Amino acid sequence: MGAIPFDIPGVEYTHYENQCTFDYFLKKHGLRDPALDRIAAIVRGADTDRHDFAPQSAGLEAIFSGLAYNIKDDQQLLELGTTIYDGLYSWAKHLYQLKHTQAGPAERLLLEIFNSYLKEGNAQKMPAWVEDIRHMLQDMTDTNMSLSLKDISKDLDLNPAYIPGSSQNISTTCLMEII
């Protein structure tokens, strides 16, 4: 039918030694890009069940296995897969060095405050707003939102002076990990 076969024995675009079709594609077409090299390690690990090649390999395999199980329409799966790989490329190009819990100075300071109240274990000493913020963050855990300290102080009807760095953003996920 004029298509180029891949990922099956006896064709050009397939696995060679410990490398996968993605590796061969990059080599064959001379694609030189550090982001693609990062992705290649992830894909190689997922495609060869060698998750030691990159820590993200097992996750990529799990995501695509689950999608293939749920989505039987090849075109729909291809479209969704393209979106996922576009996101992976953006991460590999711009965000790969960031850690999930990486925080700015205001966020670290707020985390120290939360920790000092929460580690004391004395509910009578904990200000009511700490528990209110905990509930706000719990409600937002599954979203990609960030809160500003000004927004928190407004929602809690609390003077921003009680919360340091009121112009900074707070990563809800990072705070929830501590709380």
Extents of the domains making up the chain: 21-95, 105-178
Distances in whole angstroms, Cα of residue 149 to Cα of each of 60, 146, 171, 172, 174 = 35, 10, 11, 11, 15
Distances in whole angstroms, Cα of residue 110 to Cα of each of 25, 45, 113, 130, 171 = 47, 38, 5, 10, 11
The distance in angstroms from the start CA to the end CA of the chain is: 58
| C-alpha closest to that of 151 among 131, 136, 135 | 136
| Tens digit of pLDDT at every position of the chain (179 positions) | 888 998 888 899 888 888 899 999 999 999 999 999 999 999 999 999 888 889 999 999 999 999 999 999 999 999 999 999 999 999 999 988 876 555 556 566 666 666 666 666 555 566 677 677 766 666 655 454 555 666 666 777 766 665 544 334 444 444 444 44
Q: pLDDT tens digit string along 51-92?
A: 888 999 999 999 999 999 999 999 999 999 999 999 999 999
Distance between CA 160 and CA 44 in Å, rounded? 49
The reported pLDDT for the residue numbered 33 is: 96
The reported pLDDT for the residue numbered 164 is: 43
Place of tokens 């992705």: 39
Share of the chain above pLDDT 70, in %: 58
